[in-house]
Amino acid sequence: MTPLTPEQVQIIKATVPVLAQHGETITTKFYADMLEAHPELKNIFNNTHQATGHQSRALAGSLYAYASNIDDLGKLSPAVELICHKHVSLYIRPEHYNIVGEHLLKTMKTVLGAAATPDILGAWEAAYWQLANIMINKEDGLYKEAEGWTDWKDFKIVRKEKEAEDITSFYLQPVESNLKLPIFKPGQYISVNVFVDELDGGVWQARQYSLSDAPGKDYLRISVKREPGVEVGEPSDMTHPGYLSNIMHEKKNVGDTVRVSHPWGDFYFEEEEDKSAPIVLISAGVGLTCLNSILNATLEHSSRPVTWIQGARDSKTRAFKKEIDGLAEKKSNLHTVYFSSSPQEGELQGQDYDIRGRVNLDSIDKKVLFTDSDKTLYFTCGPQQFMLDVEAKLKTYGVPAERIHMELFGTGGIPRV
């Protein structure tokens, strides 16, 4: 496609108020019509996000952001990077962009009616393919980095270990004996693809799970949180956000196979030349999984100062404490701080946890937060508001945004402040 003309750029910018008013109506109808015409795509799109409207809202937000920044696409680079990694983990192909483009323009015309003039539709077709080609090219580069691992691979569950009341680790090894596991970047994830026979007569569904151990092992480890209150097989629960995690906990056991993607993700820690720079890892709940990979990898390869800050409800829901405490006994460069929001009767402060309450950086000695260093890197993962609160607090200490890294998991990412 040829670049947008100046006139087309102005048309796209002029449609920003239209997207603000009708964006979600457009994207909701778009997904419904596209999946009806191409039911095979149900094997790619997250059924839960479709049912809850999360996917439609995310796409509406993306279209709005794209139109608003059509003449300065550099601002969208972080979002494009995030989405492209997600796409390759689901094996999105160029032909999928043809289907999406066709149905998106068709839906715009239907919803907007007479307001969708040929000039507006022409501008949006050009704009769509401008972005699509950027993403197709980026994704092509990522596929090449995978060195031939460009489709789902069967992995066997060789070990299943309960880490906490609601978190279980799965150790996965490739069924293909000649498949060499890549040295992924600590913090990245894999997509796990399972067949759900209760949905629409049977569909494949994929979810992204952070790798929870250091690279270089003969296995890939994920640690999956099971959401409570879900009955596997119950139609009323099939759209619950934790439905796939319950299948993993209840139905997948040692010896079973699942389909796995190559590791991807734009949230990771990469060893720098200066291995003395401190890192601070701040998590809440199951957000510790990707940070655990960073922790293990860092302690294997450097003696840099590391602070591990973890929030959990109580000891029953806190994963990896025994493992991490064992590392702290051996590694003088590791400092740990455990928060418990609701410690159970019999739990001892100073033994089972350090500070009662939710994670609060003001309660921590600034010496172990290393805020006096202009090299310290901060990695945080947990619920959306938790990450935003951590970022806001670190900024009050004078930490610039470029040294604060958040795991923007899920569709659409989260807003930065």
CA dihedral 398, 403, 408, 414 (to 10 degrees): 40
Phi/psi at 293 (5° precision): -65, -45
Residue 219 is among the residues annotated as catalytic for this protein = no
DSSP calls for 352-401: TBSEESS--GGGS-HHHHTTT-SS-EEEEESSHHHHHHHHHHHHHTT--G
Q: Which residues of 212-278 form beta strands (DSSP E)? A: 220-225, 257-260
Do 158 and 180 touch, CB atoms closer than 8 A? no
Task: Exactly one of 31, 64, 91, 97 is catalytic; name it.
Answer: 97
Active site residue 139: yes
- What is the distance between the alpha carbons of residues 243 and 226, in angstroms, rounded to a whole number? 8
Contact between residue 184 and residue 191 where contact means Cβ atoms under 8 Å apart: no
* CA 327 – CA 187 distance, rounded (Å): 19
In sequence order, the 6+-apart residues with CB closer than 8 A to the CB of 48 are 54, 239, 240, 241, 243
> Counting Cβ atoms within 10 Å, is residue 276 exposed (0-12), middle (13-18) or buried (19+)?
exposed
- Which among 24, 64, 128, 139 is annotated as catalytic? 139
Q: Rounded CA gap, 349 and 356, in Å?
A: 8
Q: Among 292, 268, 4, 279, which residue's Cα sits nearest to residue 129?
A: 4
CA 239 to CA 46: how far, in whole Å?
A: 9
**Of 275, 297, 280, the residue nearest 381 (C-alpha):** 280
Catalytically annotated residues = 97, 139
